Structure 1
Amino acid sequence: MAIGFDYGTANCSVAHIDNNQMREIALYGTDQTVPSTISAPNAETISEYLYRHYQITPCTEIGENLLRLAIRNNEEEGWDVLPEDVCFGKEALAQYLADPKEVYYVKSPKSFLGAMGLSPMQLAFFEDLVCAMMANIKHRTELALGRDVSQTVIGRPVNFQGRGGDKSNEQAEGILRRAANRAGFRDVEFQFEPVAAGLEYEASLTQEQKVLVVDIGGGTTDCSMIAMGPQWVGRMDRQQTLLSHTGQLVGGNDLDIYIAFRQMMHPFGMGSTSITGKMHPTTQFWNAIAINDVQAQRQFYGRDNLPTLQMLLRDAAEPEKMARLLKVHQDSLGYAIIKEAENCKIALASAPSYGANLKVGDELLQLEIDTEQLAYAITNPMQKITALVEEAVAQAGCQPDAIFMTGGSARSPILQQAVRQVLPHVPMTHGNYFGSVTAGLARWANILFR
């Protein structure tokens, strides 16, 4: 049986075609989406968890070395790896928020898959992370459907996050393919996420249109100009219909980071100075919350940064603020700050203001943020998104008949208005912001594997 699998930066979801009807699959109770998060007592737990409880073995010598190292380290620590030690989605976030310092937590592993300069052992570990998440989704899908699932079409962005261009894309897709195969998917194919979203929109058309699909995902934004209509539905060869593609490493996570950076980091010392009047380096505040940048996170949370933070605290004109930043380092609070920034983004899609709450040790910081402040905060990523829209239209050499918005962050009225300003006379529509890509992937899986 075949499914469409949206292994997203923000959320994961799956769907299949049943009696010519697209059906999303409930994975946790009635929830059809699972946040792309994973937690464990330590990093080593994940590799051993796959081996102990899923009988999933490495497919490379480096992976085998990683597993042996994980087992040895866990034995030395006296840690028996149990099935419940590894959590996913909302359970993973709850475990992390309950004790950030003692929990290994990763949000959006997909963000790191295209990163250049990673060691072979690091790449093998990311493969294990993805494999654990995919194995969990596959298991829950099979429980929901009551049958084995061995074929899948996985969505991918036009360009993964990473500075290596085609090399980043090849690395990331390779990790996803190997992880899916190890998780038990025999046949694995890929489809661009904006194209998949377009396939779902196309199913509703009664006439031919040129449609600009704007997919603002968790890690990337992709724009595709696609010729759509009844004559193309169900056809495998769609090369003629793909008029242009643009994509960049800017998405919902970037919006969250910019909201946190520009509206939430001042109580932690950003913008303040030392007693001699020297401004504190902004990189410390950025790196603390740049959850999609491996190097930035290493630089802030590494042991080598602790003396620097202690020096900044000692010399600070407002030491209470820098003490909070030191607490962020000590308790690994970056993800908690970003989660509150995400809550702010979601709330301001339908409300004029939001009261943010940031817990730092025993202290509760309360900040009021309105839509005007939000618009200022996300100016940089918003400009990148509108540039992608302009580039997609220029590449296609024609104006679209419609704009189809999809992806969780596409719900933002601010981003919608920004896209409208680029194409003011083109009607804008949307489907299921979270489900259009998944539905399109299911339709493509049904075509490929029927």
Structure 2
Amino acid sequence: MIVGFDYGSSNCAMGVMRDSQVTLVKLENNKHYLPSTLYAQHNALISDYVAHHLKQSDIEGFRQSRAHLLNAVPAIKRDLDLESSDTGISIGQAAIEEYIDFPEDGYFVKSPKSFFGAVGLKPQQIAFFEDIASTMIMQIKQRAEQQLGYELTHTVIGRPVNFQAIGGEESNQQAVSILTTAAKRAGFKEVEFLFEPLAAGVDFESDLTTDKKVLVVDIGGGTSDCSFVQMGPSFRDNACRNSDFLSHTGKRIGGNDLDIALAFHELTDFLGRDDKFKSGLPMPNQLFWQACKINDLQMQSDFYSDKNHRDLTAMLREIEQPERLQRLIKVQENKLSHRLVRQAELMKIALSADPQSHCDMSFIGKDLAKLITDVKLAEALENSLEQICILAEQAIQDAGTQPDVIYLTGGSAQSPLLKAALKQRLGDIEMLSGDNFGSVTAGLTKWAEKLFR
């Protein structure tokens, strides 16, 4: 059977057609959206999970390619006091809760799709990301099938226009290959892809009664994408839509980057960002970007390295306010980067409705909190919002015409700051808001139905 699958940077969702309407599948705790997170008590357990859930015909080759990890699993499970049947794997909200309770004990990844197009990945790293994606898709597909009562065999998966700011089409092909491999291992027989902003546009188009030139602006968790599309009654039944898609732009900057920027600019002062050495030299900003950049594999590896721990500890003797640097060391020792950025995300959400909010930082220091205002939020996000506006301008320029309407979708697309920035740069063009999370899934589902029926 057919399903639309949004394997998003922030959330995952699946949709099926029922009585000519899209129905979202409940994936976790009676909710339609499952956070794109995974927690494993040991990274080898991820490959072990895949090995135990592959089709019989694929197991032998997989086991040979992952032998160095799989051979260690029995000893790992004994050390972790796990039964042989225990997976040691959690996804979604359960993974977040495991990470909060045991941040230093396991392997936690948020928004894994953000890494799939990374430049310079070694073959073993690509294989590991395939296993992460396979594990998540296997579990999500299984949950959907249990609820629906039938097997899912065909899917259209959403993808950003560009998975990475650098790397170009090679990065895109690498990421699509990882997702294709994972979906096939999870049991999908047919896998196709559709640009996420186009998927949102397909959903929006369903209700249009007149033709419109639409700029779809999709601000996801890991990427921002714009698609300029001719839509409406004259176009939606076309079997081939290539000529209707006038332009696409995209960049690896999304809601996660807004959270990271806010964390760096407003929360790392607690960790000593503005402090000085006794020599008078300032603390290097790079340390604090490394602590916050949860979507950058190399920066996180550098931050959590043994060398960095030794360097930070040595700095304690040279810094004017060692108690603040000690908090950064606590973040490093206890793997609290995701927790730090999560607090920034909560502040971003709160400040969309209120002019100020208190950020709870007690997880790195007793009774530690900070009042953050919407003015400080705007200052922290200024550069990121500027980049999104440039993407929208480029899409319009490439299309060679002005849009009749701007359609905003995605988790961060409803930010008043973003709307104000777009209006200032693009002029007084009508802006409409879609379902922040459901538009892409609905469009993918409608496209899958058209493609596979």
- Whether the aligned pair in 2 keeps the contact of 1:158 and 1:222 (CA below 8 Å) is yes
Equivalent position amino acid for 1:424 in 2: G
Superposition map of 1:285-364 within 5 A: 285-361=288-364, 363-364=366-367
Equivalent position amino acid for 2:39 in 1: S
Deviation at 1:267, TM superposition (A): 0.6
d(CA) in 1 for partners of 2:221, 2:382: 17
Deviation at 1:64, TM superposition (A): 3.5
Q: Please report the TM-score for the alignment, with normalisation by the length of structure 2.
A: 0.96
Q: Specify the alignment match of 1:428 in structure 2.
A: 431
Q: Specify the alignment match of 1:414 in structure 2.
A: 417
SS in 2 for 1:349: coil
Q: Once structures 1 and 2 are overlaid, which stretch shifts more, 416-425 or 204-213?
A: 416-425
Deviation at 1:424, TM superposition (A): 2.4
**Correspondence for 2:187 among 181, 184, 189:** 184
Deviation at 1:82, TM superposition (A): 3.9
Q: Specify the alignment match of 1:70 in structure 2.
A: 69
Deviation at 1:50, TM superposition (A): 2.0
- Whether the aligned pair in 1 keeps the contact of 2:327 and 2:365 (CA below 8 Å) is no
Equivalent position amino acid for 2:71 in 1: R
**Correspondence for 1:100 among 89, 103, 117:** 103
CA RMSD of aligned residues (A): 1.7
SS in 2 for 1:356: strand
Deviation at 1:353, TM superposition (A): 1.4
d(CA) in 2 for partners of 1:157, 1:35: 18
**Structure 1 pair 218–309 and aligned structure 2 pair: CA distance change class (3 A):** same
**Structure 1 pair 10–62 and aligned structure 2 pair: CA distance change class (3 A):** farther
Equivalent position amino acid for 1:76 in 2: A
Q: Specify the alignment match of 1:22 in structure 2.
A: 22
d(CA) in 1 for partners of 2:59, 2:150: 30
1:111 aligns with 2:114: yes
Unmatched segments (≥5 aa) in structure 2: none
**Structure 1 pair 432–165 and aligned structure 2 pair: CA distance change class (3 A):** same
Q: Specify the alignment match of 2:281 in structure 1.
A: 278
Deviation at 1:84, TM superposition (A): 5.2
**Correspondence for 1:208 among 211, 217, 222:** 211
Q: Specify the alignment match of 1:174 in structure 2.
A: 177
Q: Please report the TM-score for the alignment, with normalisation by the length of structure 1.
A: 0.97
- Whether the aligned pair in 1 keeps the contact of 2:219 and 2:225 (CA below 8 Å) is yes
Deviations 1:119-145 (A, max 9, x none): 111110100000111111101111111
Deviations 1:248-275 (A, max 9, x none): 1110010010000000000100011111
Equivalent position amino acid for 2:399 in 1: A
- Whether the aligned pair in 1 keeps the contact of 2:261 and 2:381 (CA below 8 Å) is yes
- Whether the aligned pair in 2 keeps the contact of 1:47 and 1:66 (CA below 8 Å) is no
Deviation at 1:364, TM superposition (A): 4.0
SS in 2 for 1:132: helix
d(CA) in 1 for partners of 2:28, 2:61: 34
Deviation at 1:65, TM superposition (A): 4.6
Deviation at 1:11, TM superposition (A): 0.5
Unmatched segments (≥5 aa) in structure 1: none
Deviation at 1:29, TM superposition (A): 3.3
**Structure 1 pair 324–38 and aligned structure 2 pair: CA distance change class (3 A):** same
Deviation at 1:67, TM superposition (A): 2.8
Q: Once structures 1 and 2 are overlaid, which stretch shifts more, 163-172 or 26-35?
A: 26-35
1:265 aligns with 2:268: yes
Equivalent position amino acid for 2:28 in 1: Y
**Percent identity of the aligned residues?**
42
1:367 aligns with 2:370: yes
Deviations 1:13-43 (A, max 9, x none): 0111112111111112331100000001011
1:85 aligns with 2:88: yes
SS in 2 for 1:363: coil
Q: Specify the alignment match of 1:36 in structure 2.
A: 36
- Whether the aligned pair in 2 keeps the contact of 1:216 and 1:410 (CA below 8 Å) is yes
Deviation at 1:57, TM superposition (A): 7.3
